[in-house]
Structure 1
Amino acid sequence: MKVELITREDLESFKKELFEEIKRHSPYMRKSAQEPKEWLKSYEVRKLLGISAGTLQNLRLNGTLAYTKIGGLMYYRYEDLRKLLNGVDGS
């Protein structure tokens, strides 16, 4: 059995490749004549990123993705998602 170690650089590279793949297949991230919505609901974000509700909750809790709660619904800025997918976190 061969053991291979994964480095931080390997994970960063994988993250970039994964986000590029998501952007290629996402109707929200494609450039078109129609402007994207400014705010997206949780189900739209989950569909866009291909993640579960629990993963989205973790992104909220650890501060990776900002949100606004109105009533019982969570909304996410399209611009924040674009920055996340492009690897811009403001730090």
Structure 2
Amino acid sequence: MAATIITTEDLMEFKVELLEEFKNLMVEHTHPQPKNWLRSSDVLDRLEISHGTLQSLRNKNIIPSYKVEGILFYDAEEIDQIILENKVESIDGMV
């Protein structure tokens, strides 16, 4: 097997390439993901509730909503968090 001579210039070039790759990976993984917005019908399906119940939950400020030109939107992460925060344990410890 033949020996390969690596120069300081080769190492500096490798360093620049490696840092550039690392920077690209950091940007990909730290860039905020877009919100997943749900409409009322999506929330009704997800929670298996009626229109009246959803209205009641909005009125009580239990489920936050955002209104854009008359259309209500809900943040999917907020809906999921509300479900997790209201977890009820049964007597035997099972959900």
CA RMSD of aligned residues (A): 1.7
Aligned residue number for residue 71 of structure 2: 73
Aligned residue number for residue 58 of structure 1: 56
Shift of 1:87: 1.0
Select the structure that is richer in helix.
Answer: 2
Larger Rg: 2
Number of equivalences: 53
Moved over 2 A (4+): none
What is the SS of the residue equivalent to 1:82?
Answer: helix
Identity %: 34
User: What is the distance in 2 between the residues matched to 1:72 and 1:48?
Assistant: 22
Matches within 5 A, 1:4-83: 38-83=36-81
CA offsets per residue over residues 4-50 of structure 1, 9 Å max, x none?
A: xxxxxxxxxxxxxxxxxxxxxxxxxxxxxxx9x61100000001100
Instruction: Tell me the TM-score normalized by structure 2.
Output: 0.52
User: What is the distance in 2 between the residues matched to 1:73 and 1:53?
Assistant: 14
User: What is the distance in 2 between the residues matched to 1:54 and 1:72?
Assistant: 18
Q: 5+ unaligned residues in a row in structure 1: which ranges?
A: 1-34
Greater RCO (CA < 8 Å, at least 6 residues apart): 1
Q: 5+ unaligned residues in a row in structure 2: which ranges?
A: 1-32, 87-95
